[in-house]
Structure 1
């Protein structure tokens, strides 16, 4: 990630999941926290695929 992700709490994320998907589609990365601890990150599918390819290439 080039920019720090936006951070939301899990309860908010549950209620606004469609908004988070729209943000991911626009390139906004979102960290989801539960009890103020990072649990997951929502990124675009393109970002995820590039990250997987980079990891696979670094293992060779």
Structure 2
């Protein structure tokens, strides 16, 4: 089994962190980090659309405040 299969949440968290670290030089990374965070929520709360909505709305509000 690959490392991704053993620790899917850790992989998703590391992807979010990598995108967030890259954000200062490329704004598009903020959107990618947001998508990775939503993927993480889907792994943590399978089939829970309310959790996904809450997370996505947090990202939308934040992005509106900085753009």
TM range (shorter): under 0.3
Higher relative contact order (CA 8 A, sep 6+): 1
- Normalized per residue, the structure richer in helix is 2
**TM-score, normalising length from structure 1?**
0.27
Which structure dedicates a bigger proportion of its chain to strand?
1
What TM-score comes out, normalization by structure 2 length?
0.26
